[in-house]
Structure 1
């Protein structure tokens, strides 16, 4: 699975995400843990738009904390 994130997530956050997604794939898909591959790719905020607004310019989301612990402008 490929996961695209804006920069700013910590190694601990990515590790926790990988654990949870792996658990879900094992349960929902019957996959073997060792066969679940997750690749994280950081994408600059200038290359991501949500609702037609570049993430780097989204003042409504800037500084808010997402449920995964990072600033939501880095979601």
Structure 2
């Protein structure tokens, strides 16, 4: 009974994109490990960018800085 947890920032992932992720992860486990899709669970969690950090910095601040650099 595989369990896949996909975490993404909450920056506009559509329902259709989530469906593609669920289908793709399920198919990957079936193709690579021979797992039964009927018992494969895929969970998608959306995380606030304030709660996601890269290289010691919040994604919110990184995005804001990149937007400001475009304006220059």
Please classify the TM superposition score into its range, dividing by the shorter chain length: 0.7 to 0.9
Unaligned residue ranges in structure 2 (runs of 5+): 68-72
Please report the RMSD computed on the Cα atoms of aligned residues, expressed in angstroms. 2.0
Q: Between Structure 1 and Structure 2, whose CA radius of gyration is higher?
A: 2
Name the one with the larger helix percent.
2
Work out the CA distance in 2 between the residues paired with 1:37 and 1:61.
Answer: 37
Aligned residues: 63
Please list every run of at least 4 consecutive aligned residues from structure 1 whose deviation after the TM superposition is greater than 3 angstroms: 59-63
Unaligned residue ranges in structure 1 (runs of 5+): 64-75
CA offset at residue 13 of structure 1?
0.4
What are the Cα deviations for residues 17-43 of structure 1, in whole angstroms up to 9, with x where unaligned?
111111100011110011111011111
Name the one with the larger strand percent.
2
Q: Which residue of 1 aligns with 2:14?
A: 10
Give the TM-score of the pair, scaled to structure 1: 0.73
